[in-house]
Structure 1
């Protein structure tokens, strides 16, 4: 039975007093023994937190007691052990960084498509299906027919759109576009951005990949692989069951069993993705950290930064 509830949440709404909200929110989450990361900005709130059923419910009720966040939606999954090792409440310029001013996701986002209706949309050959996540996320799983923009950060996405909007691009004039991301927040901005650029028919997966994997049966699925998540579970599968990926503690990229079998893999130090990119000083630091990890394992203790 799951011991911890993992709640992913976001809402685009004007929070002019977001700075004043930081400490009270931190204190309340801490009082409920809830951990994870919450981002506050003038444009809204975003984050993923984990705790007991009672703790998560208390934090969600606390947030929704603010009239601006009454309609705050969240998605839940589970973990057998706490997937975060500390609590952070951060102040940001954007709750998801695109770097384009005056995007208005609360009024300009594309049309929502329920997970139950997503297959029919992306099976349409006239629809361009775009994965708005970063390259390393796409590499471990995505939807059939999805285009990978090969971005290393979301701030690169607008440039990709501009490059692909010409007659010869995948976003040529008049195309219908379906977009998706992990939990839905990036698509609020990416679809709003496309609409601001003159695209008329823009859709996005309501609740993101996580809601699709929770809702759609594996035998009916168009999803192939795992979905990367930003906590110590690393990835999830259908039914939001934990996947088999682990993190490279040097570069923070997900590792498959094949990656770990590589001669370039050294636990806690390097992997096929980052081998040869670190300085001698960094390698020495990584090896010392790994030594402490091994000592903690022998004592049956948890070391920060180790998969649990």
Structure 2
């Protein structure tokens, strides 16, 4: 019984490209009483793995929270796996506004204490006493009411690139932080104001609305299906968007455009930009906004210090990370003194620029290739790259592809191959190969052999 992934992300991406079939990125959640989350998780993994579903799912005694990529041709079969459970019959699937076949590259289903880390004691209030659900048209209308207070229940790095106009956008890193802050901030308006809340897909508001009703707020509303469902509804119904900018999503895309407005800045140079990236330094991995120009100059790094580290030999990089506690103390999402143009908290509704016509979210490589190895080092002065052969073999005359998030896709014919420090025509598994390249190579780069 297979309950784990057998393919790497690179191998899965290759199979997706070769299949050439459309996939749908979608999300859903359901609060329900699940007696045995582990058994529930195992059953889902077996069924979804057979359907080639990929993505990230959390299961707990209180329900399920899922973000997935499913082959379009298998969507009905996938829905049947959900509706086999009474609490998911007729469940709403939030289909992404922008599609990318590579949004997820592995299937992960984890059993957690909660499907959203809200820090609440569910025994102290009625979690089923939720706020009034609003569809897009109703949501637009209530925002026009002067007695409405609209609150963004996402985190600072999400709201920075896009939010509803005039929304309160708490300067928080986690959902649980926002609850007491908003409760204190709005404590004098429990009777006279309409508290309207929204989040990405609706799940955070489902619990938050019950919490605020328990805190004494009389008029509590929530956007049904969150920003994702709102974006689809305004498109289908021809409504004007009260949301401005881009919606942050938790997959490889890191965002989907709702309007053409850019409301945030590159954190390094201040140029209008709303594209997130993760620092190339594995010991940092800071999430921040970076424009194409800074991405090229800084090589996907958040600082000069990190840029220097990525050019160190891999073993030295590992030594630098050794003994450092992982988690939010390292992998901070968009909060660092290095980011000169970071904005959070109270955000404006002014468009700083208009986005260019969208390009493909991820450029697909429409060639047959096989993964050979991983970059180990780049010798700057000699313009020489070193790779470890992990699969297949390599020889002089082979057509190769070096690919990575910063390097892009570079194709060349292999000449003057050195194997384990000596000139040689052939290399096999576990060999270290070096050869000259007319561009900079990063440790995240992969080496492929192109099959003619």
User: TM range, normalised to the smaller chain?
Assistant: 0.7 to 0.9
Give the conservation status (yes or no) of the 8 Å contact 1:50–1:56.
Answer: no
Q: Deviations over 1:19-39 (max 9, x none)?
A: 111112112111111100111
Tell me if 1:248 matches 2:248.
no
Match of 1:124 in 2: 145
Judge conservation of contact 2:245–2:258 (CA < 8 Å) in 1: no
**TM-score, normalization: structure 2?**
0.57
Deviations 1:229-269 (A, max 9, x none): 111121112399xx972422454535252xx4349973343
CA distance in 2, matches of 1:246, 1:147: 22
Question: 1:28-51, CA deviations, whole angstroms, 9 ceiling, x for partnerless residues?
Answer: 111111100111001100111102
Instruction: Flag as ranges the 4+ runs of structure 1 deviating above 6 A.
Output: 282-285, 288-292, 303-306
1:10 is aligned to 2:29: yes
Can you give the 5+ residue segments of structure 2 that lack an aligned partner in the other structure?
Answer: 1-19, 261-272, 311-315, 322-374, 379-402, 413-442, 447-452
**Pairing of 1:130-149 with structure 2 (within 5 A):** 130-149=151-170
- What is the aligned partner in structure 1 of residue 11 from structure 2? none
Aligned pair partner of 1:226 in 246, 268, 274: 246
For 1:84 and 1:16, locate their aligned partners in 2 and report how far apart those are by CA, in whole Å. Answer: 29
1:175 Cα deviation from its structure 2 partner = 2.1
- Mapped to 2, the partners of 1:283 and 1:270 lie a distance apart of 20
User: Unaligned stretches of 5+ in structure 1?
Assistant: none
1:79 counterpart residue number: 99
Q: How many positions carry a matched residue from both structures?
A: 292
Q: CA deviation at 1:59?
A: 2.3
The counterpart of 1:28, out of the listed 19, 25, 47, is 47
Matching residue within 200, 205, 209 for 2:223: 205
- Whether the 8 Å contact between 1:38 and 1:48 is mirrored in structure 2 is yes
Give me the CA root mean square deviation. Answer: 3.6
Q: CA distance change for structure 1 residues 305 and 32 in 2, over 3 Å: closer, same or farther? A: farther
Look at both structures and tell me which one has the larger radius of gyration over its CA atoms: 2
| C-alpha contact 2:139 2:223 (8 A) present in aligned 1 | yes
Structure 1's 66 and 289: CA in aligned 2 closer, same or farther, altered over 3 A? farther
